[in-house]
Structure formats: C-alpha cells, structure tokens
C-alpha cells in the first residue's frame, strides 16, 4: 500500500462513517414520513446544495451535453435503482434481510470488476473480502427478528440493491477516467432529485394528498434527518466514494461499506442505547480484519485511472 493510497482510504473511511450514522436519522424520520417521500426531500436538498455550489463558483462542472446520457447510466444504478430495490424489498421482507442482501455488494463489485475492468484481486484479498462480508452477514442474521425468506419475490427485488451497488462502483471507477468525482456526484444528486421528488409528487397526486405534501416538514426530526442525509450522506459521502473509486481498484474499495454496518451498530449502542451482544464483537473483528486485508493485499499492478 503506497502513500498515494492514504487520501483515498481516508475518504473511504469517511464515507463509511457518514453512511453508518445515517441509519439513526433515517430510523427516526421514517416514523413520520414514507420512504419515497423522504428520499424525494433528501435528494432535492442534495441537488440544491450542489447547484448552489456550482452557481457561486465553489465547484466547476464541465460535462459536454452529449455525454450526459452516458453518465446518467451511473445515476440509474445509484441512487435510483439501488434505493428503489432496497426500499421496496425491505417493505416486502425485513430490515435484517435487507442488511444481509446489501452485504453482498462486495461480491458483485469484485465479480463485475474482474469481468469488465480486468481488475482481478489476489487470493488473500478475496479471502479478506469474504471475511468482511461474513462479519456483516453474521450481525444481520443474528439480529433477524422475522422469518428469513418468507417472501421470495421481495428477496429477488432486494437482490437488485447489491447488483446495482456493484454496477455503480465499477461504473464510477470507469467514468473516473474522463470525469472528476464532483462531476459524477453532481449528476447523481440531480437525477436522484428529479426521480424521487417526481415519484413522490405523483404518488401524492393519485392518493389525493397533494395538499399534505409538505406536512412532514413540520416535524423537527424529519428536518434534521433530511439535512444530515442530503448534505453528509448524499453530497459528501457520494463525493468521497467517487473520489476513492477514482484512485483505488473497485475490488479494494468494496470492503469499506462493511464498516458502515460496524459504525451503524456502534452508534446505535452509544446514542440510542441499543443492546450489544457477542455476535456484534465477532462480526466487528471479521469486518476489521477483512477491510485491513483487502487493502494490504491489493495487487500493485492495478493503476489508477483518476482524472485530476
């Protein structure tokens, strides 16, 4: 692992922290607002932030119009397809099953990277990735409170989340050859805003509740959750992951989302006073060893495609 890797690794850890703490805000907000409605507000504010930053000159976006359609494929997988599959799938199954399915993202990321980007991980790195995934699966399985596999269709829909997550990681890695991380993030936030806010408005219209569209914003917890998720778990976190993928192989980056589970569990225990059990400790050990091994054993012959 070279010194050049350290900023990207720090960015990946920061991404895991922002995503990890997002569960506390999301869990509290969803008691007062529906998921798609919440996603609409989240990405609308995220898009507003990146556009204001562009208008005042803090960030520069230089994407030829003819290439927008090409990069929108990235936004289709993340955030659109990922969140649609995750939200609908969890509603049809359980949060525990959702967590376990999402834990498969590293497997799909490595497989797609090996096929399309020719980034083949070393055997010790594969073992490390399996360790980190095993830690997440252990925590998810032991925390399950509902019957696993009770809805096969729901599980199939949930499978779309790790598939889209793996596709996103590799597309971000590929597009980083031509575009800056902030440019990819900019498109993702705008596409997410148009899709989720538009879908939420349509749902409210057909239910005859359009006059109640802004009603959830009267809840302080909803406002705070939208602010955190829009700014930190959307703009900042997705910029960090795009930055990381511009500098490190997708297979190496794939282990870091496992830290999100560890951080989510820790924050739940510290902030919400949730219980801590033996499987949390074992899962944490597997995740930490896996993330360390994935980075330590990364082949040195994979070059960065970053555009500076």
Question: What is the C-alpha to C-alpha distance for residues 104 and 162, in angstroms, rounded to an integer?
Answer: 6
Confidence bin at 99 (pLDDT 50/70/90) = low
**CA neighbor of 167 nearest in space, from 76, 246, 294, 234:** 76
Mean pLDDT of the region 223-252: 93
Do 82 and 165 form a contact (C-beta atoms < 8 A)?
yes
Q: Is the dihedral of CA 136, 138, 142, 148 positive or negative?
A: positive
- CA-angle at 265, arms to 134 and 13, nearest 5°: 75
Mean pLDDT, the chain, integer: 84
pLDDT, residue 189, reads 96
Confidence bin at 224 (pLDDT 50/70/90) = very high
Asked whether residue 147 carries a pLDDT value surpassing 50, the answer given is: no
DSSP states of 90-150: HHHS-HHHHHHHHTTHHHHHHHHIIIII--PPPHHHHHHHHHHHHHHHHHHHHT--S-TTS
What does the longest C-alpha to C-alpha distance in the chain come to?
58
Confidence bin at 217 (pLDDT 50/70/90) = very high
Mean pLDDT of the region 75-89: 90
Confidence bin at 201 (pLDDT 50/70/90) = very high
Asked whether residue 308 carries a pLDDT value surpassing 50, the answer given is: no
Between 272 and 27, name the one with better pLDDT: 27
Confidence bin at 194 (pLDDT 50/70/90) = very high
**CA neighbor of 103 nearest in space, from 303, 224, 301, 264:** 264
The DSSP code for 179 is: S
**CA neighbor of 250 nearest in space, from 126, 109, 122:** 109
Confidence bin at 303 (pLDDT 50/70/90) = very low
Residue 149 φ/ψ region, left for φ over 0, alpha for ψ in the -120 to 50 degree band, beta for the rest:
left
Asked whether residue 268 carries a pLDDT value surpassing 70, the answer given is: yes
Say what the pTM is.
Answer: 0.84
40-49, 97-106, 143-152, 170-179, range with greatest mean pLDDT: 40-49
Asked whether residue 304 carries a pLDDT value surpassing 70, the answer given is: no
Within 8 A by CB and 6+ apart from 241, the residues are 11, 12, 15, 169, 172, 253
Mean pLDDT of the region 28-33: 87
Asked whether residue 219 carries a pLDDT value surpassing 50, the answer given is: yes
pLDDT, residue 146, reads 45
Asked whether residue 229 carries a pLDDT value surpassing 90, the answer given is: yes
Mean pLDDT of the region 61-83: 89
The tens digit of pLDDT for each residue in 153-183 reads 877 888 888 899 999 999 999 999 889 999 9
Between 142 and 302, name the one with better pLDDT: 142
Asked whether residue 142 carries a pLDDT value surpassing 80, the answer given is: no
The CA-atom distances, in angstroms, between 67 and each of 141, 183, 214 are 43, 12, 35
Burial (CB count within 10 angstroms: exposed 0-12, middle 13-18, buried 19+), residue 238: buried
pLDDT, residue 301, reads 52
Confidence bin at 12 (pLDDT 50/70/90) = very high
Asked whether residue 235 carries a pLDDT value surpassing 90, the answer given is: yes
Asked whether residue 225 carries a pLDDT value surpassing 50, the answer given is: yes
pLDDT, residue 80, reads 96
């Amino acid at each position: 692992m070279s010194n050049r890797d350290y900023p990207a690794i720090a960015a990946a850890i920061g991404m895991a922290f922002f995503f990890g703490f997002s569960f506390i805000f999301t869990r509290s907000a969803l008691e007062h607002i529906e998921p798609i409605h919440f996603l609409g507000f989240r990405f609308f504010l995220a898009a507003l932030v990146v556009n204001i930053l562009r208008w005042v000159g803090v960030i520069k976006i230089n994407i030829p119009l003819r290439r927008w359609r090409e990069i929108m494929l990235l936004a289709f997988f993340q955030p659109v397809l990922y969140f649609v599959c995750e939200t609908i799938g969890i509603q049809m199954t359980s949060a525990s099953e959702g967590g376990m399915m999402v834990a498969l993202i590293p497997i799909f990321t490595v497989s797609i990277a090996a096929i399309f980007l020719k980034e083949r991980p070393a055997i010790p790195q594969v073992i490390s990735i399996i360790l980190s995934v095993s830690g997440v699966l252990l925590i998810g399985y032991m925390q399950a409170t509902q019957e696993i596999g009770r809805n096969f269709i729901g599980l199939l829909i949930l499978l779309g989340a790790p598939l889209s997550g793996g596709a996103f990681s590799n597309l971000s890695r590929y597009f980083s050859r031509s575009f800056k991380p902030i440019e990819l993030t900019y498109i993702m936030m705008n596409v997410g805003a148009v899709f989720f806010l538009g879908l939420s408005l349509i749902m409210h219209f057909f239910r005859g509740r359009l006059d109640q569209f802004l009603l959830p914003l009267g809840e302080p917890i909803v406002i705070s959750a939208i602010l955190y998720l829009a700014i930190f778990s959307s703009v900042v976190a997705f910029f960090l992951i795009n930055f990381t993928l511009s500098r490190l192989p997708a297979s190496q980056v794939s282990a870091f989302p496992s830290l999100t589970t560890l951080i989510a569990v820790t924050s739940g225990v510290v902030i919400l006073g949730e219980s801590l059990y033996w499987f949390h400790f074992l899962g944490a050990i597997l995740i930490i060893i896996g993330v360390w091994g994935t980075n330590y054993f990364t082949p040195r012959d994979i070059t960065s495609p970053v555009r500076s």
